[in-house]
Amino acid sequence: MLLTHHQRDEYLGRDEPGGGAGRTTDPSCRPGPAGGEDGRVLPDLVPAAPGLRTAFLTHGYTVDGVRALLGRAAHDALTRGEPEAADRATRDGGELGVLVRLLLLGATEPAAAVRAALGDPGPLVGAGLLRVAGDGFAAALDVRPYADDAGSGAADDAWWVVSDLDTPAARQDRDHVTGVGGASLSLAAAAIRRPVDATLDLGTGCGVQALHASRHSRTVVGTDVAPRALALAAATLALSGVRAELREGPWLQPVAGRRFAHVVSNPPFVPGPARVDYVYRDSGADGDDALAALLGDLPGVLEAGGVAQLLGSWLHVRGEDWPDRVRSWLPPGCDAWILQREVVDPAMHVGTWQRDAGLDPAAPSARARAGEWLDWAEARAVEGVGFGHLLLRRTDAEPVVVVEDLVGELGGPLGPEADGWLDRVDWLRAHAGDDALLGATLALTASATLERYAVPGEEGWAEAGAAVARRDGPLWRHEVDEPAAALLAGCRGELPLGELLALLSFAHDRPYDALVAATLPAVRELVRHGLLVPVAP
Ligand SMILES: C[S@@+](CC[C@H](N)C(=O)[O-])C[C@H]1O[C@@H](n2cnc3c(N)ncnc32)[C@H](O)[C@@H]1O
């Protein structure tokens, strides 16, 4: 995963992605309209894509090639948004150096150098990739190599993502198309990669989620309300040799009547007043209303058993429990797992998104806009804004809904965790009765640890408690008392839970029924969090 845009990190996601590719260029990648919302002529890189792809591969403008040219320190510096070290590293870099300076560093390169690297620049100016700058050429778009963990590194696997330039001026455009940012990576890392027939990428933007989806989905449809986003997604897909269908329109409208096994979406999720300053960020609806509406509509495009995975934000309103707020939006007939990854106060929310848009929050115009935003928050008694992942699965069974916090660092990508969550929910549903659970054999997951902790006491450290925790994935941690620790020690995949509890009842001199009643809810939680794993009889 290389050279992501440097902004939009913590608050917008901090996972490492994993998973997913596909190939071939499909004319259906091309969007229909010829003009953007602001009347600018839309870029159209699709006709030039085969030639560009060949040039990129020939000169090594790939994830591995750029990394090798820059070296780790300059590469890391560039990822942090510091171009100078990378510029130095490219000086003797031949055509690859020219491409890095032109497309990643925002430099103007002499016409002869551009011609040597990319061929005749004229058509590339016409296509919207380059612009004439004095005697040379500069990039009018951001085109960067991209890869996932599943890529073999071979030419067939090479991807490039096309987005708007990440300059403060370009970021001010209402229809600015962002590149791969923290939120994009967070969703890519959380997406389940089970092979499916059809995936919808709602709000495809630069097309990054569609690239990932193409690894595991036979067909991919990307939709977006913004023609400019679709034009750049088409460029991404064509350059990357990935086949997908692109459709223009708001929310689920372009796919009305169609069904998908998987929906992924990093929608414009930033709660604020009902207006659109930036189409990638603002839904146009008040607060978190758009997320609520989208959740309600999702079952209409999910096939039976189909899964939707979204990023989203929700308001924390004075006097209201945020889980109740999100629960109230969930459609019937769906399992749901809502994971809150971060909560910030309104001032932090506004400041974060102003900086993300390239604004200086101290500038008078930004202050005025921040004031309006904070007035809006105050009027709605907003105390905080939560951000996180939402997973929905259409089911005919009694739905399972879990809304929980998962703040802080992760021990691995959420994708396998989401996949496992669905299986675990199915297993728990099949073992809903106490007798079924007592008859099951469980084992601690291999990454489980028992942590005992102590606090300062009158005679040195005084044992204060214990917790069982996972060292991988979400790093779930559960406090346990001594009988529970003893029970877990016995969960080695040998004896059914009921027999272990009978032994424990005898050893600790506690009535069996009381022990069962006290233990089973916790066991269900531990299974759901992957600390206890069912063992086939
Ligand atoms: C945060 S960007 C996500 C881009 C990309 N999918 C990613 O993961 O990086 C949100 C995208 O949603 C699009 N969008 C905004 N409002 C929309 C709407 N009402 N319906 C569909 N797409 C919308 C924007 O144009 C933008 O491309």
What are the pLDDT digits (tens) for 29-74? 344 444 555 667 899 999 999 999 999 999 999 999 999 999 999 9
Both tokens of 377, joined, read: 């928050």
For residue 431, how many other CB atoms are within 10 A of its CB?
Answer: 19
Q: Is residue 185 in contact with ligand 1, taking CB distance under 6 Å?
A: no
Res 81: pLDDT:
87
DSSP string covering 101-170, please?
HHHTS---EEHHHHHHHHS-HHHHHHTTSEEEETTEEEESSEEEEE--TT--SSGGG-EEEEE---STTG
Q: Coil, helix or strand for 218? A: strand
Cα–ligand 1 centroid distance for 280 (angstroms) = 5
Q: Which of 162, 199, 279, 283 to mutate to test the pocket of ligand 1 (most atoms within 8 A of CB)?
A: 279
Closest by CA position to 88, among listed 64, 63, 71: 71
Residue 390: pLDDT band (50, 70, 90) is very high
Q: Which atom of ligand 1 lies closest to the CA of 264?
A: 6
**Which amino acid type is present at position 131?**
R
CB 337 less than 6 A from any atom of ligand 1: no
Query: Which tokens in the block code for residue 503?
Result: 């032994």
What are the tens digits of pLDDT across the range 91-133? 999 999 999 999 999 999 999 999 999 999 999 999 999 999 9
How much distance in Å is there from the Cα of 211 to the middle of ligand 1?
A: 15
Determine the average pLDDT of the residues in 286-296.
98
Angle between helices 49-59 and 111-118 (to 10 degrees): 100
Please check the confidence at residue 265 and state whether its pLDDT lies above 90. Answer: yes
Q: In the predicted model, what is the mean pLDDT of residues 383-388?
A: 98
Q: Are strands 441-444 and 532-535 parallel, antiparallel or unpaired?
A: antiparallel
Residue closest via CA to ligand 1's atom 17 equals 225
**Does the structure show a pLDDT above 80 at 451?**
yes
Main-chain phi, psi angles of 160, to 5 degrees = -135, 140
pLDDT on residue 454:
97
pLDDT at 247 over 50: yes
Pocket lining: 282 vs ligand 1, CB cutoff 6 Å: no
Residue 457 has pLDDT above 70, yes or no: yes
Grouping H, G, I as helix, E, B as strand and the rest as coil, residue 347 is helix
DSSP letter at 411?
B
The full DSSP string for 78-108 is HHTT--HHHHHHTTT-HHHHHHHHHHTS---
Beta strands per DSSP E along 348-491: 382-394, 401-405, 441-444, 448-457, 460-470, 477-480
Ligand 1 centroid–CA 14 distance in Å is 19
The predicted model gives 463-485 an average pLDDT of 95
Ligand 1 nearest-atom number relative to CA 226: 25
Q: Does any ligand 1 atom lie closer than 6 A to the CB of residue 62?
A: no
pLDDT of residue 191: 98
The residue whose CA is least distant from atom 11 of ligand 1 is: 203
Q: What is the pLDDT of residue 26?
A: 37
| Average pLDDT of the chain to the nearest whole number | 92
For ligand 1, atom 12, the nearest C-alpha belongs to 203
CA dihedral 355, 357, 363, 368 (to 10 degrees): -110
Q: What is the pLDDT of residue 38?
A: 61
Query: Which atom of ligand 1 has the smallest separation from the CA of 253?
Result: 20
Taking residue 173's Cβ as centre, other Cβ atoms within 10 Å add up to: 18
> Does 227 contact ligand 1 (Cβ within 6 A)?
no
Q: Give the model's confidence band at 9: pLDDT under 50 very low, under 70 low, under 90 confident, else very high.
A: very low
- Distance, CA of 56 to CA of 157 (rounded, Å): 13
The pick from 38, 184, 225, 301 for probing ligand 1's pocket by mutation, whose C-beta has the most ligand atoms within 8 angstroms, reads 225
518 contacts 506 by C-beta, under 8 angstroms = no
Percent of the chain residues past pLDDT 70, beyond the cut: 92
> Is any ligand 1 atom within 6 A of the Cβ of residue 250?
yes
For range 425-441, the mean pLDDT: 97
pTM over 0.75: yes
Please compute the mean of the pLDDT values over residues 270-290 and round it to a whole number.
97
DSSP 76: H
In the structure, what pLDDT confidence band is assigned to residue 153 with cuts at 50, 70 and 90? low
**Please, which residues bridge with residue 220 across strands?**
199
Q: Please determine, for residue 152, whether its predicted confidence score (pLDDT) is greater than 70.
A: no
* Pocket test residue of 8, 178, 253, 356 for ligand 1, highest count of atoms within 8 A of CB: 178
> What angle (nearest 5°) sits at the alpha carbon of residue 469, between those of residues 463 and 475?
135
CA distance 528 to 522: 10
Relative to the CA of 179, which ligand 1 atom is closest?
9
Percent of the chain's residues with pLDDT above 90: 88
Q: Name the helix (H) or strand (E) containing 340.
A: strand 334-344
pLDDT in tens, 161-200: 999 999 888 999 999 999 999 999 999 999 999 999 999 9
Confidence of residue 324 (pLDDT cuts 50, 70, 90): very high
